[in-house]
Amino acid sequence: MSVADRRDRGAILALTGPAYLWLTATIFLPLSAMLYVSFLDKSPLVPQPASFTLKHYEAFLAKPVYPQLMLWSLELGALVTVFCLLIGYPAALALAKVVKGRWREALFLLVVLPFWSNALVRTFSWTMVLRPGGLADQAIHVVAPGAPALDILYSYPAVVIGLVHSYLPYMILTCYISLQAIDDSVIEAARSLGARPWHLLRRVIFPMSLPGVLAGSALIFVPAVGSFMEPRILGGTKGAALGMAIEEQFTVTANWPFGGALSFVMLAAVLLICLALYPVARRRMEGL
Amino acid sequence: MQSLGARLLTGYLWLVLLFLYVPILVMAAMGFNASPLYALPFDFDLIWYRELAGNAKLINAGINSVGIAVANTLIATALGTMAALAFARYQFRGKTVLQLLLFPPVAIPWLVIGTAMLVFFYWIGIKRGLVAILLGHVALSLPYVIVVVGARLATFPRAVEEAAATLGATPWQTFRRITAPILAPGVIGGALFAFAVSFDQFVISYFLAPPGTTTLPVEIYGAIRKGFTPEINAISTIIIVVSMGVLLLTARFYRFGGEK
Amino acid sequence: MSEVNVIDAVKRYDSVVALGGVSLRFAEGQLFGLLGPSGSGKTTLLRAIAGFVTLDRGRVLIDGQDIGGVPVHARNIGMMFQNYALFPHMSVAENVAFGLEVRNLPKSEVQARVKDALGMVRLTGLEARRPKQLSGGQQQRVALARALVTRPKVLLLDEPLGALDKHLRQEMQIELRRIQRAVGITTIFVTHDQEEALTLSDRIAIFEAGKIVQEGPPMEVYERPRSKFAAGFLGEANFLTGRVEAISGGCATVALDVGGQAQCALETAAAGQAVTLALRPEKIGFAPAAAGETPGPNQVRGRVTDVVFSGNSTTYRVAVGEQTMTLFRQNLTGSAIAPGADVLLSWSGDHLVAVTP
């Protein structure tokens, strides 16, 4: 790689310009616009001029339902992340350290494939499984014929299951990449020093795979907090998420400023959480 | 030969895979069941696929989805490959910032991005429609293309370009005969990724689609909200098969998981 | 066959001086080795000749013409890269043909010359293989054929034998010399391996920190190093420090710091002057010392601390005063001297070389 000099600057600009212009126009400017709109007292859809106000942010705090929704969404995000970690980490471990050769590639592909297919469709597929008369119901009745009909669809657990199913491959992917990078000889050294499996995992493998764990967590937590499609499809009326409230502002009530305010409050909350955990994460990952 | 722990882990892996695929398989299976109420016993029938063929709305949405995905692939791959080349070849001030800026499209909930696009496009006069959707899809695809092509560029043997130069090839000849062919698999991998991202994209399309003209996922969502019918299973199965097919193709061109 | 001249080459990267004013003449048909530790500037010079590096000051001339502004692809040089840089998506034949195709030569001629080139490096029959399918040694031959088939004016080699194992390296050393002699092309190669430099070169230049420390035929640079660095980098050397006691007729007597005296020819020396003398390990003879035997001039007494057997020779480490001296002895006789033995080391005054510290 060469250090860029004057002649190269033209090339660099030409190469990166189009992509970043596109991103500016479609991501960064819109986000700024949204921020701006959230301070307007009238929706841009209305012809009258609007003026600066904080009332939307105040509204968030004023009615207890919104902070409650926020809390629930954060909780949902955390729950989904934790489950993805608990379920996904051992799978990633198996893939990275136990399975060898061609199987590894094939299985890895199988794990990642669903993630890249349509999330909507996958969410829908869970309704097939979870609804009364669906697969889960049938399975339970095979084992315990006298049990009551499964009524799990349109409930919080269903939403969690659907979200975990959606984002699990992400966690497996990031953990796998981290785990795979751990030199086998480090593990062998630990074992030769007398470390038994649990110790090996807790004090050697897991700490060394922390970057993957954290990357997966961050990439799952944020979208999960902002999800609205899964709560709506799998939660029905019982599904309550901030994401749904935001979505409504743009499709039902056409209260864009309020929707914008809610979005940024959510972003702020998520950002605060990430920033709070960042120093801890940084310290834990020293030397990796 | 393997320890008990290793075998348990492997078994566990298969369980996880089961968890990932069973719902999809069930959904696909129900699309071939004659009963409109998903009632068992299973009665194989292609009736729902026949219904699909007559469902103009879904078919139009499908055509839109494919059209947008193709356009998205072309644009995102071109723009993304260029940017990846710049990152791989040069070291310059602001490079890290640019690379960090690739995170927001991926990390910020698409809900926020989609609604923000809605607001901004309205302001600058871009109406909701296929163009708006395309704008959004490319933005989301770019980071993935840049990362995929970038990874391929990272293992690109730079010295071969120098070798070509010493053998008398002009920069253009070097690019045409050496750089491009070696880069091709990575670029194709990035392109297929871009296709998948666009084809499966729901949230952005949802906000930017006007009534009447939508993409397939948005149309399906609308259908789900009205009530479940196996027609939805049929079209969903088709979508999944297409997406997975594209992804399998990608895997041929781009080795996942760091395997060399 | 071309002559290459480098005049006063200077190259700086930020605050690091990669080349600090280097001038060299590479005669026609010569095999010239640039030797030095990493970062000493040798690779920078090679790449400047190739055209990948633009000098801040100084000129590079090929056959008297300044090629400063000429782009790489117009310089008509052949280059062999450290990791061979074969085109992975092309076959062996296509790799070798590339330079000719770029010059738009007719197909028949391309085919004929590729055949000859592969024959010259003894790879006939492997035309259709891909680089991946070749061994390291074979890949290197392909790289060589590819560089030479275009009949360049100069051949540049970047660490040509570094990636090979010992046997292969020795084999390739002979091959390289043979091919170079047959083609007669001016060849410049870069290496940090002193053995490689000694065996391959007609002439060597030793680099240190961007400057040339010594230049000349290998034997001369080896037997008559001018500095401690040159003596230590090219082979092993013992350094004996001392003070000149007396001079008579160009022959000086030096009082050694380790004790005893050395007598040798020192051209520029004055009484009382401090000198550092280099002595190569293979030039030292020794024998068990009898008790009470005092060393004469060009002799010192010591105790063997280490004996390392390496097949055709044995290395001895002998403690002499505060210093440890190293000597090699060919294993002609079966008997070795054991560690702990008292020995008398001796050498000829002709083999002492005064070096700058």
Q: Could you report the per-residue pLDDT of A175-225, keeping only the tens digit for each?
A: 988 888 888 888 888 878 777 888 888 888 888 888 888 888 888 898 888
* Of A20, A109, A133, Cβ closest to residue B98: A20
For residues C353 and C231, the answer to whether their CB atoms sit within 8 Å is: yes
Contacts of A219 in chain B (CB under 8 A): 106-107
Exposure b/e, C188-218, CB count within 10 A at least 16 = b: bbbbbebebbbbbbbbbbbbbbbebbbbeeb
User: What is the spatial distance between Cα C64 and Cα C25, in angstroms, rounded to a whole number?
Assistant: 11
In a domain, A46, yes or no: no
In a domain, A146, yes or no: yes
Tell me how crowded residue C135 is: count the other CB atoms within 10 A of its CB: 10
Tokens linked to B80: 């993304």
Cα radius of gyration rounded to whole Å, chain C? 25
Contacts of A11 in chain B (CB under 8 A): 86, 90
In a domain, A87, yes or no: yes
Compute the residue count for chain B.
260
This model of the complex carries an ipTM of: 0.80
- Kindly determine whether residue C150 and residue B178, on different chains, have CB atoms separated by under 8 Å: no
Residue B259: the pLDDT is 33
User: What is the spatial distance between Cα A174 and Cα B258, in angstroms, rounded to a whole number?
Assistant: 12
Sign of CA dihedral B213, B218, B220, B224: negative
* Of A16, A20, A119, Cβ closest to residue B202: A119
User: What is the spatial distance between Cα B77 and Cα C254, in angstroms, rounded to a whole number?
Assistant: 76
Return all residues near C258 (Cβ < 8 A) that are at least 6 apart. Answer: C240, C300, C320, C321, C322, C323
- Kindly determine whether residue B142 and residue A124, on different chains, have CB atoms separated by under 8 Å: no
In a 3-state reduction of DSSP, which class is residue B50? helix
User: What is the spatial distance between Cα B30 and Cα B43, in angstroms, rounded to a whole number?
Assistant: 9
User: What is the spatial distance between Cα C109 and Cα C113, in angstroms, rounded to a whole number?
Assistant: 6
Residue B1: the pLDDT is 45
Scan residues 56-85 of A and list those with Cβ closer than 8 Å to B: none
Omega prior to B41 cis, within 30 of 0: yes
Residue B99, min C-alpha distance to chain C (Å)? 25
For residues A17 and B83, the answer to whether their CB atoms sit within 8 Å is: no
In a domain, A85, yes or no: yes
For residues C148 and C99, the answer to whether their CB atoms sit within 8 Å is: no
Contacts of B20 in chain A (CB under 8 A): 110-111, 114, 165, 168-169
- Kindly determine whether residue A125 and residue B258, on different chains, have CB atoms separated by under 8 Å: no
Of the candidates C158, C193, C200, C194, the one whose C-alpha atom is nearest the C-alpha of residue C177 is C200
In a domain, A41, yes or no: no
Q: Please give the span between the terminal C-alpha atoms of chain A, in angstroms, as a whole number.
A: 24
Return all residues near B20 (Cβ < 8 A) that are at least 6 apart. Answer: A110, A111, A114, A165, A168, A169
User: What is the spatial distance between Cα B144 and Cα B195, in angstroms, rounded to a whole number?
Assistant: 11
List residues bridging with C240 in a β-sheet: C277
* Of A19, A120, A133, Cβ closest to residue B38: A133
Of the candidates B220, B253, B237, B255, the one whose C-alpha atom is nearest the C-alpha of residue B48 is B237
Of the candidates A94, A96, A74, A92, the one whose C-alpha atom is nearest the C-alpha of residue A84 is A92
State the 10-residue block means of pLDDT for chain B, 260 residues long: 76 90 85 76 79 83 91 94 88 83 83 89 84 91 88 84 92 90 86 87 88 85 82 84 82 52
For residues B40 and A139, the answer to whether their CB atoms sit within 8 Å is: no
**What is the domain range of residue A212?**
55-286
Of the candidates B120, C150, B254, B193, the one whose C-alpha atom is nearest the C-alpha of residue A23 is B120
Is B154 in the C-facing interface, judged by CB distances under 8 Å? no
Count of domains forming chain A: 1
Contacts of C146 in chain B (CB under 8 A): 163, 167
Domain containing residue A170: CATH number: 1.10.3720.10
Contacting partners of chain C (3+ CB pairs under 8 A):
B
- Kindly determine whether residue B117 and residue A95, on different chains, have CB atoms separated by under 8 Å: no
- Kindly determine whether residue B116 and residue A109, on different chains, have CB atoms separated by under 8 Å: no
- Kindly determine whether residue B162 and residue C102, on different chains, have CB atoms separated by under 8 Å: no
Scan residues 141-200 of A and list those with Cβ closer than 8 Å to B: 165, 168-169, 172, 176-177, 180-181, 197
Exposure b/e, A93-121, CB count within 10 A at least 16 = b: bbbbbbbeeeebbebbbbbbbbbbbbbbb
Residue A79: the pLDDT is 93
Residue B97, min C-alpha distance to chain A (Å)? 12
- Kindly determine whether residue B82 and residue A16, on different chains, have CB atoms separated by under 8 Å: yes
In a 3-state reduction of DSSP, which class is residue A2? strand
- Kindly determine whether residue B165 and residue C103, on different chains, have CB atoms separated by under 8 Å: no
Cα radius of gyration rounded to whole Å, chain B? 22
* Of C52, C88, C102, Cβ closest to residue B167: C102
3-state SS string for chain C: CCCEEEEEEEEEECCEEEEEEEEEEECCCCEEEEECCCCCCHHHHHHHHHCCCCCCEEEEEECCEECCCCCHHHCCEEEECCCCCCCCCCCHHHHHHHHHHHCCCCHHHHHHHHHHHHHHCCCCCCCCCCHHHCCHHHHHHHHHHHHHCCCCCEEEEECCCCCCCHHHHHHHHHHHHHHHHHHCCEEEEEECCHHHHHHHCCEEEEEECCEEEEEECHHHHHHCCCEHHHHHHCCCCEEEEEEEEEEECCEEEEEECCCCEEEEECCCCCCCCEEEEEECHHHCEEEECCCCCCCCCCEEEEEEEEEEECCCEEEEEEEECCEEEEEEEECCCCCCCCCCCEEEEECCHHHCEEEEC
Residue B31, min C-alpha distance to chain A (Å)? 11
For residues C227 and C356, the answer to whether their CB atoms sit within 8 Å is: yes
Q: Which domains are delineated in chain B? A: 55-253 (1.10.3720.10)
Is B173 in the C-facing interface, judged by CB distances under 8 Å? yes
Best mutation site among C13, C79, C146 for testing chain B: the one with the most B CBs within 10 Å? Answer: C79
In a domain, A25, yes or no: no
Chain C's closest residue to B157, CA to CA, is: C85
Is B177 in the C-facing interface, judged by CB distances under 8 Å? yes
Chain B's closest residue to A250, CA to CA, is: B115
Of the candidates B249, B238, B190, the one whose C-alpha atom is nearest the C-alpha of residue B31 is B238
Is B167 in the C-facing interface, judged by CB distances under 8 Å? yes
Residue B136, min C-alpha distance to chain A (Å)? 6
Phi, psi of C280 (to 5 degrees): -75, 145
Tell me how many residue pairs between chain A and chain B have CB atoms under 8 A apart. Answer: 270
Chain B's closest residue to A34, CA to CA, is: B116
Of the candidates B253, B103, B97, the one whose C-alpha atom is nearest the C-alpha of residue A16 is B97
Alpha-carbon separation of residue B134 from A34, B64, B76, B129, B207 (angstroms): 20, 10, 10, 9, 12
- Kindly determine whether residue B240 and residue A18, on different chains, have CB atoms separated by under 8 Å: no
In a domain, A158, yes or no: yes
Q: What share of chain A is helix, strand, coil (3-state, %, to 5)?
A: 75, 0, 25
Interface residues of C toward B, Cβ cutoff 8 Å, are 50-52, 71-79, 81-83, 85-89, 98-99, 102-103, 143, 146-147, 150, 156
Q: Which residues of chain A have pLDDT under 70?
A: 1-6, 146-151, 237-239, 286-288
Q: Which residues of chain C have pLDDT under 50?
A: none
Beta strands C313-320; C274-279: pairing state: unpaired
pLDDT digits (tens, 9 = 90+) for C249-287: 778 888 888 888 888 877 777 788 888 999 999 999 888
Contacts of C73 in chain B (CB under 8 A): 164-171, 173-174
Chain C's closest residue to B160, CA to CA, is: C85
- Kindly determine whether residue A91 and residue B13, on different chains, have CB atoms separated by under 8 Å: yes
Q: Helices A6-23 and B56-89 meet at what angle, rounded to 10?
A: 160
Residue C66: the pLDDT is 92
Residue A287: the pLDDT is 64
For residues C11 and C52, the answer to whether their CB atoms sit within 8 Å is: no
For residues C136 and C159, the answer to whether their CB atoms sit within 8 Å is: no
Chain C's closest residue to B171, CA to CA, is: C73
User: What is the spatial distance between Cα C140 and Cα B198, in angstroms, rounded to a whole number?
Assistant: 46
Of the candidates A125, C335, C258, A178, the one whose C-alpha atom is nearest the C-alpha of residue B220 is A125
In a domain, A214, yes or no: yes
